[in-house]
Amino acid sequence: MPMYQPSSRRRDGGDGKFDADGGGQVLDLKTAVKDGILGGDGAFFGGGVAEKLDLKKMIAELEAIDVPSVFICPISLEPMQDPVTLCTGQTYERSNILRWFSLGHCTCPTTMQELWEGSVTPNTTLHQLIYSWFSQKYLAMKKRSEDVQGRALELLETLKKVKGQARVQALKDLRQVVVAHDSAKKTVADNNGISLVSSLLGHFTSHAVGSEVIGILVNLDLDSQSKANLMQPAKVSLMVDMLNEGSIETKINCTKLIETLMTGKDFGSEIISSLSLLVGLLRLVKDKRHPNGVFAGLSLLKSVCSYESVRVSVVSIGAVPQVVELLPSFNNECLELSLYVLEVLSTLPEGRMALKDCRNTIPNVVRLMMKVSESCTQFALSILWAVCKLSPVECASLAVEAGLAAKLLLVIQSGCNPAMKQRSAELLKLCSVNYTATIFISKCKLTRTIQ
């Protein structure tokens, strides 16, 4: 039988000792924790805690932290709760190694060495170390959480008393706490904080206060009553003002908050029919310096266009040609949103005319077919169909020159859904009506095989 060589990952022999660095120096686990080798200070080792904590619960709640590799089961790559050691010196989570044996294996999973003795030995020292380490981290996390909750309550009380710059500072502090800690979000919601913060929005609210209030609200889960409260005309008017005049961060937060309000059951289209809101939204979409703002603006614009009564207003502010010109600069996420918006607006006579009158509609949209996603191709087909049907002689020729026919053939030969293939065939036929077969093939640069 070959001599057993410890793995580089784990050198725990089940006796409370492990090789810390692979150089042959065997350390006691208590010493390892005391000296900080495993990232702890040893404060909980062997001493217990005031109340018995559940290890499984602690592991679940501390999921995001880095765990010392010696605590990790090599099979599941998860922290061990009931570590057991094999005769090879390798340690595993009990349930995982027993499952390994139940599959008929008689080897050590890490070394693949045959086992000369099939029993498993509870590694009580490692178990105690794991429990102590997680207890320390868990109690520290709970203390931080309690401190955060206390701070959030303190700031809510402060907001009831202060005005002016002191109010702005209190809101800044509360915003930082809410953004950084989920427990603070819950504390604010559970202590009427949403209503308190929302009450600071109104006709006479300064932009300094308003931007901080919206920065807080956009990070909270708003119930239906909170959304209804924020739909008051004075509050919506302030959001629109800040969408037009605030910092880029404030503009993005305004769009996110308005989009959240649109999910409320009492939301009415009159809230988003303001031309000032639509103009501010389009200005945000056009600001290429801030990709996050472009995406947020397009996302809200998509939601706005779901209301038929608002679509004419969107067309009237010149949204169609401006979005068309921006298509080459958008990333894939933004292309999905922008093509959806253009496709929806193409259902209006005014929208179709605006698309036709924009000289880059056909080349920009054709270029995106079969390039981004199937949904983008579907939106592009609908847009091109609407434009070419409106003016077959003029637009079909432009589409052929832009390479539409070859793209349509790709769609027809692809695995796209039947409706897209049918629309592609109809559009291809529409494009060919002004040409003889020979000229059409030549214009499309098609091969004899395709003919």
Dist CA 311 CA 352 (whole Å): 12
Whether the pLDDT of residue 211 is over 90: the answer is yes
Which pLDDT belongs to residue 25? 36
Superfamily of domain 62-122: Zinc/RING finger domain, C3HC4 (zinc finger) (3.30.40.10)
The CATH number of the structural domain formed by 323-450 is 1.25.10.10
Mean pLDDT of 38-58: 57
Residue 284 is encoded by which pair of tokens? 């945000």
Residue 18 bridge partners (DSSP)? 12, 27
Whether the pLDDT of residue 392 is over 70: the answer is yes
Task: Kindly report, residue by residue over 134-181, the tens digit of the pLDDT.
Answer: 888 888 777 766 778 888 998 999 999 999 999 999 999 999 999 988
Largest interatomic CA distance in the chain: 92
- Banded model confidence at residue 360, pLDDT cuts 50, 70, 90: very high
**φ, ψ (nearest 5 deg) of residue 208:** -65, -45
Q: How many CB atoms lie within 10 A of CB 125?
A: 20
Task: Kindly report, residue by residue over 82-111, the tens digit of the pLDDT.
Answer: 999 999 889 999 999 999 989 988 899 988
- Banded model confidence at residue 216, pLDDT cuts 50, 70, 90: very high
Task: Kindly report, residue by residue over 323-339, the tens digit of the pLDDT.
Answer: 999 999 999 999 999 99
8 Å CB contact between 267 and 259: no
Dist CA 381 CA 365 (whole Å): 9
Helix (H, G, I), strand (E, B) or coil at 425: helix
List the chain domain ranges.
Answer: 62-122, 323-450
Task: Kindly report, residue by residue over 223-282, the tens digit of the pLDDT.
Answer: 999 999 999 989 999 999 999 999 999 999 999 999 999 987 777 778 888 899 999 999
Dist CA 400 CA 384 (whole Å): 11
Determine the Cα angle at 430 with ends 429 and 432, to 5°.
65
Dist CA 256 CA 254 (whole Å): 5
